[in-house]
A and B are shown apart, each in its own frame.
Chain A
Amino acid sequence: MASDNVFVSPEDSVMTNLSPMDAVEPTVDELLDGALSPYLSDDQDGDSPFVNEDVTKLKHAWVNEKQAPDLLPYETQLVEDLTEMLQFIEALQGEDAGQPFTVMLYQTEVERIKYLLRSYLRTRLQKVERYAMFYSGSEEHLSRMSAGEQQYIHQYRGLFETHMTRTCLDKLPESLRALDETTGNIPWNDTAVVCRVQQDVGEISVTETETVEMRRDNIFLMPYQTVEKLLQSDQVVLL
């Protein structure tokens, strides 16, 4: 590595200076302030202008969706944009194969994004199925779904009702046959989630008498309903 140093450009020499092998040893604080910051959070802010944030956003959307007890609004624009990009790239590869090695690299990224998209959509469908009876009667939750999910929930509810009626409800007295929004699972918003604060929020009240100060990069275990608003405005992310 030392022999390479002859060729490095000025920007690169900054990086080599940070290398632990060098004579100038940075203090722990310097390391933490400067070099560590890109690693402290999984965000890649402040990078070159060619970075497309959509993938990072979708990653957050997946993690948030997985952690939140209730269904979050569907990321229509994000999913649409990325799907379009994927189709474009795949069409491009069909026409012009290019170098096998670079094609393999592009293909790897395509697969990674597809995996992320699938994970995101599956996590949502899991919730949709579990709370099908409740969500299908709630305008607010239906508005958070994509057209596909709305269709899915109606069909699922239909199948569920037919199944329940055939297997057991028919055999029960009429007064016990009701099957409506209040039957089945209802999401419980008072459940604990872990979140990281993305920007200073200041004091928020956690009980009638207690407040807590939320600063950037703090990690909290809190009831979901306390952070729900902050999550919608991207001031916190779930972990």
Chain B
Amino acid sequence: MTSTKPTQQFTLPELEFLAEDTPITIIPTHRMDTLHFISGSYGPFQPPAHIEVPLWLARLLKTKRRCHIQAPTWLNCRFLERKYDEEQRQPDRFSNLPYQYLEIAHVLVTCAEDDIPQSHTIKRLIQDLREIRQSKARAGLAAVNPVYLQMDHLGAVELNEIRPVFCQAFNHLRKLEKDLGDYIVPSYEDTQSTTSYSNY
């Protein structure tokens, strides 16, 4: 283990892991008794009754062809199109999407493409949404100030992406503001933070 500065960044697989406890509705194709997991009990699985399970279980069952996945209510063309319009109409704020929408959509589109109606259009729409939100998030850098910044409805992946730059900018502005009042010799940790960019 190295003693480099611990990074605040998550990797994309880590973010996906964190999103995999989201409940998802499935339609099992095989009968199965109730499963007693450490995190909770799910079942009994009685096709074709719908049942809610965590995403990781849904993915596992899907890859073993033991269920069909029902796309979440927000993962359909009409809803995403409306969200895209909303994004365009409000250039200064983000529309309300699930916090982990990119991760969930990615898992579902990769493992259950056949269960999601119009999955190609959905992929395109998600990509469009991601791009318009990304450019908004980047434009938000201008709003960084040394006090606080409110950024409601930002997604996990988007946040993780802008965090290094935003936090650095914030920390520098804070230091500058402080230094204006009284000159402080930068401590070891402060000087480190300016060079730790390569960690990201």
Residues on A lying within 8 angstroms of B by beta carbon are 1, 4, 7-9, 12, 15-16, 18-21, 25-26, 28, 31-32, 35-36, 38-42, 44, 47-48, 50-52, 54-56, 59, 63, 66-67, 82, 85-86, 89, 101-102, 105-106, 108-110, 112-113, 115, 119, 122-123, 125-127, 129-130, 184-188, 190-194, 206-207, 210, 212, 217-223, 226, 239
Contacts of B1 in A (CB 8 A): 122, 125-126, 129
Q: Check if B147 sits within 8 Å of A210, measured CB to CB.
A: yes
Q: Does B44 contact A (CB under 8 A)?
A: no
Residues on B lying within 8 angstroms of A by beta carbon are 1, 3-6, 8, 10, 14, 17-23, 25, 27, 32, 35, 37-41, 48-50, 56-57, 60, 64, 68, 70-74, 76, 78-79, 82, 96, 98-101, 104, 117, 144, 147-154, 156, 159, 163, 166-167, 170-171, 174, 187-190, 192-193
Q: Could you tell me the distance between the alpha carbons of A105 and B34 in the complex, rounded to whole angstroms?
A: 12
Contacts of B163 in A (CB 8 A): 194
Contacts of A82 in B (CB 8 A): 38
Known: A108-B56, A130-B4. 7 other contacts (CB 8 A): A44-B21, A47-B40, A54-B38, A55-B21, A192-B167, A192-B174, A219-B150
Contacts of A25 in B (CB 8 A): 78
Closest to B72 in A: A39
Contacts of B167 in A (CB 8 A): 191-194, 221
Q: Check if A220 sits within 8 Å of B117, measured CB to CB.
A: no
Minimum C-beta distance from B136 to chain A (A):
14
Q: Check if A63 sits within 8 Å of B18, measured CB to CB.
A: yes
Asked whether A67 and B40 contact (CB < 8 A) given A12-B49, A39-B100, A217-B152, the answer is no
Q: Check if B70 sits within 8 Å of A39, measured CB to CB.
A: no
A-B contact pairs, 22 of them (CB 8 A): A8-B48, A19-B70, A31-B74, A36-B73, A38-B22, A42-B18, A51-B39, A56-B21, A109-B38, A112-B20, A123-B6, A130-B5, A188-B190, A193-B167, A220-B148, A221-B151, A221-B166, A221-B167, A222-B149, A223-B174, A226-B148, A239-B159
Contacts of A127 in B (CB 8 A): 6
Asked whether A41 and B99 contact (CB < 8 A) given A188-B187, A219-B152, the answer is yes
Q: Check if A85 sits within 8 Å of B79, measured CB to CB.
A: no
B99 CB contact (under 8 Å) in A40, A48, A106: A40
Minimum C-beta distance from A70 to chain B (A):
11
Asked whether A126 and B37 contact (CB < 8 A) given A44-B21, A219-B152, the answer is no
B73 CB contact (under 8 Å) in A19, A51, A186: A19
Minimum C-beta distance from A69 to chain B (A):
9
Q: Check if B100 sits within 8 Å of A42, measured CB to CB.
A: yes
Minimum C-beta distance from A99 to chain B (A):
9
Q: Check if B147 sits within 8 Å of A207, measured CB to CB.
A: yes
Asked whether A66 and B6 contact (CB < 8 A) given A108-B56, A185-B189, A191-B171, the answer is yes
Closest to A156 in B: B3
Q: Check if A51 sits within 8 Å of B40, measured CB to CB.
A: yes
Q: Check if A186 sits within 8 Å of B189, measured CB to CB.
A: yes
Q: Could you tell me the distance between the alpha carbons of A123 and B144 in the complex, rounded to whole angstroms?
A: 28
Contacts of B79 in A (CB 8 A): 20, 28, 31
A85 CB contact (under 8 Å) in B35, B38, B56: B38
Contacts of B14 in A (CB 8 A): 119
Q: Check if B76 sits within 8 Å of A9, measured CB to CB.
A: no
Q: Check if A115 sits within 8 Å of B17, measured CB to CB.
A: yes
Minimum C-beta distance from A67 to chain B (A):
5
B170 CB contact (under 8 Å) in A8, A187, A192: A192
Q: Check if A52 sits within 8 Å of B39, measured CB to CB.
A: yes
Q: Check if B73 sits within 8 Å of A112, measured CB to CB.
A: no
Closest to A16 in B: B50
Asked whether A188 and B193 contact (CB < 8 A) given A36-B73, A38-B23, A221-B151, the answer is yes
B148 CB contact (under 8 Å) in A26, A101, A110, A222: A222
